[in-house]
Structure 1
Amino acid sequence: MDVLTDDLEKYRTELTGYCYRMLGSAFEAEDAVQDTMVRAWRALDSFEGRSSLRSWLYRIATNVCLDSLNAGNRRARPMDLTDPTPVAQARLNERPEITWLEPVPDGRVLPSVADPAETAVHRETVRLAFVAALQHLPAKQRAVLILREVLAWKASEVAELLGTTVASVNSALQRARATLAEQAPAASDAADPLDEAQKALLDRYVAAFEGYDMQALTALLHEDATMSMPPYDLWLRGHEDIVGWMLGVGEVCRGSKLLPTVANGSPAFAHYHPDPEGGFAPWALIVLQVHDGKVGGMDFFLDTKRWFPLFDLPDRLPA
């Protein structure tokens, strides 16, 4: 039985990546995979081997995710809900009825593969913009697109997994592609590993942010760069509004420290805020979208009690 358990466990990371793309939540994805493993372990005696163990696990995981999504779960980013807010009208409004798209550590969802092209696809398809676009698809279309386009399953394999026909799978894939084309998730620069120019960009970002040098910071941002702060629905676009926020309400972040990490296949930073009692306390997980050599988006995830333990980040920094 231990051997069989090990056989199941070796698929955990890729299954978590699949469930994360389906559900948009790191925590729900891990729960779904754990449920999958428990169901599989209990049913091992009935596994007849007519399909591969991997396919069998994906069938179970798909059913777990579809059950969750049928309950009405759909995750969003602030930019999915409203237009950008001019800084003069900016207010921090929580939307407790909204289930927000969540960041995820790369190590939880990106399995080690030998093929660089496959690695690039896996990284690109856990980026926040892509996972946000997936949320616009009906659940079964979402599963079809991920299995066909991300995991490169054959239409016949997907049809068998979903208990449907190849024609139905192809039709669902066509509709899913059309919806994604309308959403047009932003492109991002390849970053595995970072090249010298990307390393220099991130070094300059840290220096500008920690020095609170808005001129240096905006030099690194695209003109239409965005900034969001879940769980608040506020988001900003463009240099003027981002700087206006940073020098207004955001002025409390002056003197902060950044610690590098990675999230969603993208560069990220743990943001520590000056603590009046000394040292630096967790403030946000910042996930950057980088394309064409500049930063196109900054997502500040403020619920540090959830994110910092998930990313194995220190609970504070010394002075």
Structure 2
Amino acid sequence: MKRSATSRSAASDVAAESAAAVVDGGAPDGAQGEPADRLEAHRTELTGYCYRMLGSAFEAEDAVQETMVRAWRSYDRFEGRASLRSWLYRIATNVCLDQLKGSRRRARPMDLASPSSVDTPIGTGLPETTWIGPVPDQRVLASAGDPAETAVARESVRLAFISALQRLAPRQRAVLILREVLSWSASEVAELLGSSVASVNSALQRARATLAASADAAEEPPRPLDDAQEALLRRYVDAFERFDMDALTALLHEDSTLSMPPYALWLRGRDDILKWLRGPGCGCAGSHLVPVAANGRPAFGQYRADGLPWAVQVLDLADGRVTALNSFLDTERLFPLFGLPLRYGGSPPS
């Protein structure tokens, strides 16, 4: 089923429907009108949780919508024996586990094959369900909070970490996210999953071992951009928009990577990336880059010279260089998700 990139716009519909249902269906006196607001207050963190579980911004928003619908339908039976937040996470976990039944894990191109050569045909795109997709920071990260918690949250939505999570069985995935990212106690996770503390601790141990063997999980975590990185990004935008290969040579790490979902082809090494841009990627000449933020990383909406969408670029930075250029080409859905207009200089989607 095709999902709308603007499923977030349904939030107001859920809120209105929720309030109407409570009026009709029996929240305690004096609480009418409050449930929808109380539920919506948890939307961002729930979306982040579901995105870590599912690897897709669109599936995460669908899962949160389903969580909200189930929650307000059952709100009159919520007796407050647990916190509202814990109750919502229990619902969201069940929704995600149901959604993951029988599905293949999502991946990045580098998870599926060795790097390609510049001469490799780009091939045909694989289905959207193959790929881990990008997510706007504002959909999954709180705008304010404890700096240490914010750093953990940013690290836990980076593409490499999401890729590592996909290697875990779904219940292990839930345990690791709840324990390591959200800092729940083992007893809280056991209660949520209807399991024992011993089972939770065993699942966490196995999940940690799997992640420890993953190069993705060991990748340098993101940090707030400093002045040097901000300067690096300005130089990158200038060089890319001028399509200056000499300038890009100075900015790309020698072992940098380029990937382009929905295509499985990916490249490793600055020389191959620059050869590809001069050859098959020459359509990028004259591009315009519009800054956005995705997966705790700097990102850009890339428009072609004719002003039409080309890609959402998510960059990895380390050691004063660009180490990865992740280009996502599903612009029909991704540009509205990021609030980007479908023509350069146009109006953003409502």
TM over 0.5: yes
What is the alpha-carbon distance in structure 2 between the residues aligned to residue 64 and residue 73 of structure 1?
Answer: 16
Identify which of 273, 277, 284 aligns with 1:253.
284
1:7 partner letter: R
The match for 1:70 is: 101
Return the alpha-carbon distance in structure 1 between the equivalents of residues 90 and 104 of structure 2.
20
Q: CA deviation at 1:73?
A: 4.0
Aligned residue number for residue 298 of structure 1 = 325
Q: Tell me the amino acid that sits aligned with residue 316 of structure 2.
A: Q
TM-score (ref. length: structure 2): 0.87
1:187 aligned partner = 220
Greater Cα offset, 116-125 or 181-190: 181-190
Supply the RMSD in Å over aligned alpha carbons: 1.4
SS in 2 for 1:88: coil
1:54 aligned onto 2:85: yes
1:187 aligned partner, one-letter code: E
Whether contact under 8 Å (1:87, 1:241) holds in the other structure is: yes
**Residue 308 of structure 2: aligned partner:** 281
Verify the 8 A CA contact 1:188 1:289 in the aligned structure 2: no
Answer yes or no: is 1:154 the counterpart of 2:181: no
Candidates 219, 238, 252, aligned match of 2:250:
219
Q: Is the 8 A contact 1:93 1:234 kept in 2?
A: no
Structure 1: gaps (5+ residues): none
In structure 2, relative to structure 1, the CA distance for the partners of 1:100 and 1:293 (3 Å cut) is same
Paired AA for residue 318 in structure 2: H
Q: Which residue of 1 aligns with 2:17?
A: none
Q: Matched residues in 2 for 1:98 and 1:87: separation?
A: 26
Identity within the alignment, %? 66
1:201 CA displacement: 0.4
Cα distance in 2, alignment partners of residues 119 and 156 from structure 1 = 24
Letter aligned with residue 293 of structure 1? G
2:309 and 2:105 map into 1 onto residues whose CA distance is 28
**Alpha-carbon deviation of 1:245?**
0.5
Q: Give the letter for the 2:138 counterpart.
A: G
- Find the aligned partners of 2:129 and 2:66 in 1 and give their Cα distance: 25
1:97 shift after superposition: 8.0
Cα drift, residue 93 of structure 1:
3.1
**Counterpart check, 1:177 vs 2:208:** yes
1:316 positional shift:
1.1
Query: What is the identity, as a one-letter code, of the residue corresponding to 2:326?
Result: D
Do residues 230 (structure 1) and 261 (structure 2) align?
A: yes
The residue type equivalent to 2:203 in the other structure is A
Give the match's secondary structure for 1:236: strand
Letter in 1 for 2:175: V
SS of aligned partner of 1:49: coil
TM-score w.r.t. length of structure 1: 0.95
Post-superposition Cα deviations, 1:89-109, rounded to whole Å, max 9, x if no partner, equal: 342332238521111101100
**Map of 1:25 onto structure 2:** 56
What amino acid is aligned across from residue 78 of structure 2 in structure 1? F
CA contact (8 A) 2:155 2:222 kept: no
The residue aligned with 2:197 is: 166
2:322 alignment partner, SS class: strand
Q: Distance in 2 between matches of 1:106 and 1:40?
A: 25
What letter is aligned with 2:183? A
- 1:310 aligns with 337
- How many Å separate the matches in 2 of 1:28 and 1:91? 27
Q: CA deviation digits over 1:144-185, x for unaligned, max 9? A: 000000000000000000011111111111110111111122
97 and 220 in structure 1: CA distance in 2 versus 1, 3 angstrom threshold: closer
Deviation at 1:50, TM superposition (A): 1.1
Look up the SS of the partner of 2:130 in the other structure: coil
Gaps of 5+ in 2: 1-31
Contact 1:189-1:293 at 8 Å conserved across structures? no
**Paired letter, 2:290:** L
Q: Deviations over 1:204-258 (max 9, x none)?
A: 0001111111121121111111000000000000011101100001111111111
Q: Are the aligned partners of 1:289 and 1:295 in contact in 2 as well (CA < 8 Å)?
A: yes
1:287·1:298 contact (CA, 8 Å) conserved in 2?
yes
- Partners of 1:69 and 1:292 lie apart in 2 by 37
| Letter in structure 1 aligned against 2:168 | L
Counterpart mapping for 1:74-113 below 5 A? 74-96=105-127, 99-113=130-144
Q: 1:230 to 1:97 in 2, by over 3 A?
A: closer
Number of aligned positions between the proteins? 313
